[in-house]
Amino acid sequence: QPWRRFVLIFTIANNMLRLHYFDRSGLIISRPTNILKNPVRLLEVLNTLTLAHPNNLGYDPTMHMCDPTCKGSHADLRENAVGWIESHDKSHLSIMSVLWRSQGFFSRGTICYRVQTSDGTEYALKDCWVAEDKKNHEVTVLKMVEGIPNVVKLVADWDVLYDGESDCTYRIRASHGVCASGFIRRFHRRLLLTPCGEPLVLYSLKLELLRAFHNFVTAHELMLGRHVLHGDLSPNNFIIHDGQGYFIDFDHARIIAEGAVSVPSEGTVKDLQLS
Ligand SMILES: [Zn+2]
């Protein structure tokens, strides 16, 4: 899997064994155990790691990436699929490729997949861990800009469920009673979007690129008319589909208050550079 729900790492230093638990909200380190004084504890750890169900090692049961042993053996997937991911109706969407994944474990951990339904309809699927106070922010913004040409369209959004409940970094921590002050709950969310295009840098002709920029300027003005400032104009946040440019990624979008003419800056501070 491109990412896991959480990662467990064991370290031994000066004969002291520690467990390090990482998820999107941060890190927890266990109290140390001396493996010379308590060798059974070390055996228990090795035993647990070896026999644990993959779910208990952080694997996400709502998706699957194929390996050489299973590739091509899934009757419900599209040809050339590299895996599947659960949709909001529990059906399997075929993963055709991983479009983009964020670096580092903390924070959103965004991954974008190119997916297809069983009838071949293609979408972009965004998988991310969103802070509780921004849980529905991107969805709210996408609904505000719905219908504007050259802006990616939201098809569906949902909480990823684990054991029948919304998957959240709080669930594991609460069971150990270790939610420190400043802890931010992050919810595992998925957004299904259309169209699924190519990165801006893969433009085929300069004319196509110029046309895409014209699309962006027009769409940006229309979004401002609906009190939405995209706020993160970096090359990663534009795609080209069928010769048209589209805005994507509204994580950093700002909603401009009625009557206001500016919002505090946020997002990627980078010039768009063309080479
Ligand atoms: Zn497989």
CA of 82 to the centre of ligand 1 (A): 7
CA of 78 to the centre of ligand 1 (A): 12
CB-based burial label for 23 (10 Å; 0-12, 13-18, 19+): buried
- pLDDT surpassing 90 at residue 274: no
- pLDDT surpassing 80 at residue 174: no
> What structural domains and CATH numbers belong to the chain?
7-57 (no CATH), 200-275 (1.10.510.10)
Cα–Cα dist 112/25, whole Å: 20
Contacts of 227 (CB under 8 A, 6+ apart): 144, 255, 256, 257, 258
CA of 38 to the centre of ligand 1 (A): 41
CA of 83 to the centre of ligand 1 (A): 6
Partners of 191 in beta bridges = 126, 157
**Residues 118/78, Cβ–Cβ less than 8 Å:** yes
H or E element, residue 22: strand 16-23
Contacts of 206 (CB under 8 A, 6+ apart): none
State the average pLDDT for the chain.
Answer: 89
Say which range, 10-24, 64-78, 226-240, 257-271, has the weakest mean pLDDT.
257-271
Average pLDDT over residues 134-138: 94
Cα–Cα dist 129/189, whole Å: 6
CA of 81 to the centre of ligand 1 (A): 9
Give the pair of three-digit tokens for residue 103.
């670096």
Cα–Cα dist 95/70, whole Å: 14
Partners of 235 in beta bridges = none
Q: Which of 150, 159, 155, 169 is nearest to 125 (CA)?
A: 155
Residue 103 vs residue 131, higher pLDDT: 131
Note the pLDDT tens digit of each residue in 198-214. 999 888 999 999 999 99
Note the pLDDT tens digit of each residue in 46-92. 999 999 999 989 999 999 999 989 877 899 999 999 999 999 999 99
H or E element, residue 157: strand 153-159
Helix (H, G, I), strand (E, B) or coil at 41: helix
**Residues 56/4, Cβ–Cβ less than 8 Å:** no
Model ipTM?
0.98
CA of 68 to the centre of ligand 1 (A): 8
pLDDT at residue 184, rounded to an integer: 87
Note the pLDDT tens digit of each residue in 17-52. 999 999 988 888 889 999 999 999 999 999 999 999
Give the model's confidence band at 269: pLDDT under 50 very low, under 70 low, under 90 confident, else very high.
Answer: very low
pLDDT at residue 275, rounded to an integer: 35
pLDDT at residue 178, rounded to an integer: 60
CA of 98 to the centre of ligand 1 (A): 15
